[in-house]
Amino acid sequence: MVYLDTIADKKAIQEHILGPILKLDHWPKKPIQQIENTIEISKIKRISDLGEAVNELSNGNTLIFIDGADSCISADTADWKDRSLSPPQSQRVLKGPQIGFTELANNNISLIKRFIKNNQLSIEDQTVGEETSTGVFLLFLADKTDHDILNHVRNKVKSVHLKSILDSSYIQESISEGQITPFPLVLTTERPDVVAGHLLEGKIAIVCDGSPDVLIVPALFIQFFHSPEDYYESSMFDFTRLIRILSFVTSIFLIPFYIAFVLFHQELIPSELLVSLAAQRQIVPLPLVIEVILLMVIFEVLLESSIRLPTGIMLAFSIIGTIILGQSAAEAGIVQLSTLVVISATYVLNFAIPVHPFGNAIKGIRYILVFLASTFGLYGIILGTIVLVNHLASLNSFGVPYLSPISPVKKADLKDTFIRFSLKKIINSTKRYDKDDLLKNSRK
């Protein structure tokens, strides 16, 4: 009997494998079959390949070798250490389930199954990473998932060629290759209720052992503005999604418009405000564009630093970094108060987006628009907007247009985009995802 002491459950080995074998009255004529029927472990399999046996051993399983047999028995005795369940950190809600994923894939799958008790829920497992042998699991509802999309995702995961996989983000980056874009084409979540909701819509979840983040594909642009709370609160007169989208658009264009108006189109600014801006401008030595970029970089540094600070000094750092530093810079004449207000408002608006990686994606776009606005004014912003919209329209997430169901328009699915209709209307209707020509042709 062979097992790894640090990851195998020795109590299970003693009680459910060794104990029953020692109780055998005589050595059976067909020992391997008899021992398979004797040991009290539900998940066992016979192995005849040495490489597969080593892989089973490294996964915490116990190998039982029998003299004279050309194969061995692998019994599941893994006892991985895991932290207790806790609320998700990056997707907190006021109302709804308060439970998040952990780093153990089996626990995460169990949490999802708790929401979907359906015999159509299928689980496929693969092993990726030559050096880490990381388990990756595809979860989907067989009667709702489009099989062309499923095959596409399955092949993408199989084609991941990384020596080591330490987190689901490794899988995310590998399967998103082929399209150059700052926008995430895969939705990540720590919440089992979110995964369950997307599975019921016919999507596919990718659970990676060792990561608390589960990937969901295909991911659509509009769904990055959806929060789990949207489905737990009444939809009547709820314009929260519209506010999030408006915040997103404003956070991209507020700074470029500020630069364009001040540098090129002063005639569009009310005269009182123009006089105030001109008075502030006289005492600031830096050009406006340099001033804006300097403040944007400082805000990025403050955000980056605050993420890694201990909780105890977070409040003191926030006061020193944002209030004292910003106010002092304005009073010292290093930056304008109006610029400080515009930059601060931009970063506050950015936090209104419920999915954190999506907020990060637009940072680069903001710098590009700042450059275009400082060079060409409003014409540069219009040019940048056209390129941005065209880029979004050209993207697809695993064969599904990224802007679906807005472009191409699909009236049936518009009930759950900008405003959520009643749950009865959106849950009881079947969703079908339009696929691009590439995926349609691959089926032929």
**Can you say whether the dihedral through the CA atoms of 33, 34, 37, 38 is positive or negative?**
negative
pLDDT (0 to 100) of residue 85: 85
Average pLDDT over the chain, rounded to whole? 86
Residue 277's pLDDT band, with cuts at 50, 70 and 90, is confident
Whether the pLDDT of residue 444 is over 50: the answer is no
Mean pLDDT, residues 341-367 taken together: 84
Predicted confidence band of residue 437 (pLDDT cuts 50, 70, 90): low
370 or 95, which is more confident? 370
Predicted TM-score (pTM) of the model is 0.85
**Higher per-residue confidence, 390 vs 37:** 390
- Per-residue model confidence as pLDDT tens digits over 108-120: 999 999 999 989 9
Name the phi and psi angles at 442, rounded to 5.
-70, -20
Mean pLDDT of 348-368: 83
Q: pLDDT over 90 for what percent of the chain?
A: 36
* Residue from 426, 444, 442, 436 nearest 154 by CA: 442
For residue 436, what pLDDT band results from cuts at 50, 70 and 90? low
The predicted model gives 121-125 an average pLDDT of 93
Mean pLDDT for 301-325 is 74
At 56-101, the pLDDT tens digits run 888 889 999 988 888 999 999 988 888 888 888 888 888 888 899 9
Confidence of residue 442 (pLDDT cuts 50, 70, 90): low
- Whether the per-residue pLDDT at 439 is higher than 60: the answer is no
